[in-house]
Homo-oligomer: A and B are copies of this chain.
Amino acid sequence: MEISKDLIRGHTDTIILNILNQGDSYGYQVSKSIRQLSDHQYELNEATLYTAFRRLEKLGDIESYWGDETQGARRKYYRITSQGQDHLATALDEWRFAKKVISNLISGRIEL
């Protein structure tokens, strides 16, 4: 089963915040976490991921710092801010609510 891109749209930032809320991470690892969390059902395009990082940093939901790798390629790490944690909590609430509304909209009966 393929998940249409538009069904994920609007969740990208929340997905990243959820992952960073469990510990600092960097692009490639976040990418792998998404694969793992979705049971290999979903992959986020690299460009989308890094675009989201920049958006979230601009918003103040995350902060970045370069790791000092003694080996391997350089990595930019991201850390969630307390504002980011607030936004994550809000987004989770919104999702619980939206889930019901959407279910009604796409399969509910119309009462005249």
Contact = CB atoms under 8 A, between A and B. Distances in A.
Contacts of A8: 98, 102, 105
B94 A106 contact: no
Instruction: Quickly give the copy total for this chain.
Output: 2
A41 interface: yes
A18 interface: yes
B92 A38 contact: no
Interface residues of A, number: 43
A105 to B, nearest CB: 5
Given A18-B107, A33-B110, A92-B107, A38 B7 contact: no
A49 interface: no
A98 B7 contact: yes
